[in-house]
Amino acid sequence: MIQFDQTLDLSGLNCPMPLLRTKAMLAQMDSGQVLNVIGTDPGSPREFLIYARQAGHEILELVETDGKFHCLIRKA
């Protein structure tokens, strides 16, 4: 199991709020820390993959379970 430093539950929020709140949380974190994001917006996983690639962050895990996605992002 991957250890994480912060959790951000975005369940019930729709685009663009999940990505905006994730960006804001990552901005407050130190390089190398891991953010655990939980959400329900079906478009968010794709947005997170694109954002992470552009910003240099690393997606450690991205899974969907029972209508929720779980994403672990290591800050660059």
Per-residue pLDDT band for 1 (boundaries 50, 70, 90) equals confident
What pLDDT score was predicted for residue 3?
A: 96
Distance separating alpha carbons of residues 22 and 26, to the nearest angstrom: 6
**Mean pLDDT within 47-58:** 97
* Length of the chain, in residues: 76
Is 15 tagged catalytic? Answer: yes
Residue among 7, 14, 15, 68 flagged as catalytic: 15
Cis peptide before 16 (omega within 30 of 0): yes
One-letter amino acid for residue 11 of the chain: S
CA 6, CA 59: separation in Å to the nearest integer? 15
Percentage of the chain lying above the pLDDT 90 cut: 99
CATH code reported for the domain at 6-74: 3.30.110.40
